């Protein structure tokens, strides 16, 4: 048994439960210390103090996890386990998550700084829905019969890839774990997962639920630890056939490099964004202002598909800014467990510093602070929702992904100008369009260089609909039927029904 664990009595207004679990490396359905016996401190974003410790995994632990995952594939999972049984286990897991819905939500709140209510109603609810959705796919992974000639039967099998690596970010730990695990398990793969060391607690707790649901040992393994050690070991391991990564564009590049230099493993990358949110002059201004604020400030702005560049048509600019700044000023910040709190702290000191650096750069480069622009209080990682106006396309706050509660508002002349400015970014994850003229809105959406476009809404993914980007925002898709394609390999089978071969 590992030496590290986490016990917490939440004793708050909206959730009063307790939690207690081991925080070791999880291999073969057991928790253990990392091979070096060292630990990592997990910080409380509300106070900046130490919350608990987790085991620090190593490259050796990754190798042990890969061996366990391979053994499970050969004996109890993959082609050895019918899809209907995988489906049953996944549904059991979803039921257990539902039973522990509040506890998992409280873990996201205490570890990431998300508000308990959002964690409960968005993150964890969607995580459960994702596992259920993919449980439904597990016995529907179908190949094809392909007509060639009467003398041949040709068909395809969609077989599991093997051991897959899954590297998670800290902004939606449990949700993104389920986005990756759902399609991987449904298609019969085994997994070696690395949560982000900033916020791993809900993911570690999930491992206990995986055991309780009855998954065979070795199907899901989790090696906690740092990206430069555990992450690198996963991407470079020759026994891992595919890596699914969510995080920064910079690290995504390293993942590809290691994948190419090891066994040419497949990769899916879900990376950064600097999404445009376009408000056309025929938009409903009140609705657009609320959705625009949601799109950039939800989850403290730590959202890859955030609509952080807001473009407003000149003719309605003043009206929109008046309503938008009013909405932003009404956002209530404070303890994530507070009943009416909408805005918690950022996830880590390092990230807090990075965002404050961007806010300073906006001020230094001459942008106007229309709302916010400061830290909140003197303890923890709280930052005011911030709106910059009078910005230009060369400013860092306009060009670079801040991944925090910072919006920039720009003007455009007409639809063509909005499309040109909106697409003027190296990213291509998402775009949002607001207009009561649905034809114009759809026309604009189709012109956006983005993997996802939202019309008269913002940042609202669904587990049935593909999620992912183009340009520097990534490769491949999470969610929906499309995500399954990343997790199976296609085997063609040719059966001779009467072709003669006579040589000599
Ligand atoms: P990273 O991309 O560095 O981290 C994401 C995950 O990758 C973490 O689990 C991290 O481990 C791991 N990792 C780090 N280095 C490596 C490596 N060499 N090989 C394999 N895995 C690695 O993001 P940061 O946490 O540093 O955040 C920086 C910025 O990235 C944010 O400000 C934001 O712009 C963007 N980001 C985007 C996300 C998205 O949803 N698309 C999510 C998170 C960040 P470790 O546990 O050590 O952090």
Give one DSSP letter per residue of 212-225, joined into a string.
HHTPPTTSEEE--S
246 Cβ inside 6 Å of ligand 1: yes
How far, in Å, from the CA of 249 to the mean position of ligand 1? 9
- For residue 303, which atom of ligand 1 is closest to its CA? 40
How far, in Å, from the CA of 478 to the mean position of ligand 1? 17
Residues 6 or more apart whose CB falls under 8 angstroms from that of 32 comprise: 1, 2, 24, 25, 55
Residues 6 or more apart whose CB falls under 8 angstroms from that of 197 comprise: 40, 42, 54, 224, 225, 226, 227
Helix (H) or strand (E) holding 452: strand 452-455
Cα dihedral 345, 348, 354, 359, rounded to 10, equals 10
Tell me, what's the pLDDT at 1? 66
Integer angstrom CA distances of residue 244 from 94, 160, 163, 280, 393? 22, 15, 11, 37, 33
Nearest CA to ligand 1 atom 18: 228
Which residues face 158 on adjacent strands?
490
CB 316 within 8 A of CB 283: yes
Cα angle value 364/369/372 (rounded, 5°): 115
Nearest CA to ligand 1 atom 40: 304
Q: Which residues are catalytic?
A: 270, 304
Tell me, what's the pLDDT at 357? 98
- For residue 254, which atom of ligand 1 is closest to its CA? 18
How far, in Å, from the CA of 255 to the mean position of ligand 1? 11
How far, in Å, from the CA of 358 to the mean position of ligand 1? 18
Per-residue model confidence as pLDDT tens for the chain (504 residues) = 678 999 999 987 788 899 999 999 999 999 999 999 999 999 999 999 999 999 999 999 999 999 999 999 999 999 999 999 999 999 999 999 999 999 999 999 999 999 999 999 999 999 999 999 999 999 999 999 999 999 999 999 999 999 999 999 999 999 999 999 999 999 999 999 999 999 999 999 999 999 999 999 999 999 999 999 999 999 999 999 999 999 999 999 999 999 999 999 999 999 999 999 999 999 999 999 999 999 999 999 999 999 999 999 999 999 999 999 999 999 999 999 998 999 999 999 999 999 999 999 999 999 999 999 999 999 999 999 999 999 999 999 999 999 999 999 999 999 999 999 999 999 999 999 999 999 999 999 999 999 999 999 999 999 999 999 999 999 999 999 999 999 999 999 999 999 999 998
CA atoms within 13 A on the CB side of 499: 10
| Global pTM value | 0.97
User: Measuring CA to CA, which residue among 416, 382, 388 is closest to residue 308?
Assistant: 388
272 Cβ inside 6 Å of ligand 1: yes
- For residue 176, which atom of ligand 1 is closest to its CA? 40
Tell me, what's the pLDDT at 339? 87
Pocket test for ligand 1, best of 248, 303, 304 (most atoms within 8 A of CB): 248
How far, in Å, from the CA of 324 to the mean position of ligand 1? 31
- Secondary structure of 331-364 in the HEC alphabet? CCECCCCCCCCCECCCCCHHHHHHHHHHHHHHHH
251 Cβ inside 6 Å of ligand 1: yes
168 Cβ inside 6 Å of ligand 1: yes
Nearest CA to ligand 1 atom 12: 227
Nearest CA to ligand 1 atom 37: 247
Could you tell me the domains of the chain?
58-271+473-490 (3.40.605.10), 276-455 (3.40.309.10)
Q: How far is Cα of residue 339 from the mean position of the Cα atoms in its chain? A: 26
Which residues face 222 on adjacent strands?
26, 193
């Amino acid at each position: 048994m590992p030496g590290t664990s986490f016990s917490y009595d939440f004793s708050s207004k909206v959730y009063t439960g307790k939690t207690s679990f081991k925080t070791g490396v999880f291999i073969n359905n057991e928790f253990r210390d990392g091979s070096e016996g060292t630990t990592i401190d997990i910080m409380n974003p509300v106070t900046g103090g130490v919350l608990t410790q987790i085991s620090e995994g190593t490259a050796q632990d990754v190798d042990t996890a890969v061996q366990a995952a391979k053994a499970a594939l050969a004996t109890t999972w993959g082609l050895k386990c019918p899809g209907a049984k995988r489906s049953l286990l996944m549904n059991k897991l979803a039921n257990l998550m539902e039973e522990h819905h509040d506890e998992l939500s409280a873990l996201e709140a205490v570890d990431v700084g998300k508000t308990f209510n959002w964690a409960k109603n968005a993150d964890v609810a969607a995580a459960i829905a994702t596992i259920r959705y993919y449980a439904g796919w597990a016995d529907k992974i179908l190949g094809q019969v392909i007509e060639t000639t009467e003398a041949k039967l040709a068909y395809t099998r969609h077989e599991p890839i093997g051991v897959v690596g899954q590297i998670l970010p800290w902004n939606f730990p449990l949700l993104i774990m389920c986005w990756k695990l759902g399609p991987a398990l449904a298609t019969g793969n085994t997994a070696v997962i690395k949560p982000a060391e900033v916020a791993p607690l809900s993911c570690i707790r999930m491992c206990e639920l995986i055991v309780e649901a009855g998954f065979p040992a070795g199907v899901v393994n989790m090696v906690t630890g740092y990206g430069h050690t555990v992450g690198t070991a996963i991407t470079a391991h020759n026994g891992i056939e595919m890596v699914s990564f969510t995080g920064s564009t910079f690290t995504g590049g390293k993942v590809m490099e290691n994948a190419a230099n090891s066994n040419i493993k497949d990769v899916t990358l879900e990376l950064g964004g600097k999404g445009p949110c376009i408000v056309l002059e025929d938009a409903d201004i009140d609705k657009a202002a609320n959705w625009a604020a949601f799109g950039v400030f939800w989850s403290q702005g730590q959202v890859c598909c955030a609509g952080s560049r807001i473009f407003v048509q000149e003719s309605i600019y003043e009206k929109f800014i008046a309503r938008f700044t009013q909405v932003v000023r009404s956002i209530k910040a404070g303890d994530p467990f507070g009943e009416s709190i909408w805005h918690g702290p950022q996830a880590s000191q390092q990230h807090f510093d990075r965002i404050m650096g961007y806010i300073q750069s906006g001020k230094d480069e001459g942008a106007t602070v229309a709302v916010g622009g400061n830290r909140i209080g003197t303890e923890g990682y709280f930052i005011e929702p911030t709106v910059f106006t009078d910005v230009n396309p060369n400013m860092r706050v306009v060009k670079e992904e801040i991944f925090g509660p910072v919006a920039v508002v720009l003007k455009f002349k007409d639809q063509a100008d909005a499309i040109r400015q909106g697409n003027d970014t190296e990213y291509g994850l998402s775009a949002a369009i607001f207009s009561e003229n649905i034809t114009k809105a759809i026309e604009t959406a189709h012109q956006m260089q983005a993997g996802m476009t939202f019309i008269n809404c913002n940042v609202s993914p669904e587990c049935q609909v593909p999620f992912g980007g183009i340009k520097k925002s990534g490769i491949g898709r999470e969610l929906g039927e499309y995500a399954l394609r990343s997790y199976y390999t296609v085997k063609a089978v040719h059966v001779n029904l009467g072709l003669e071969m006579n040589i000599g």
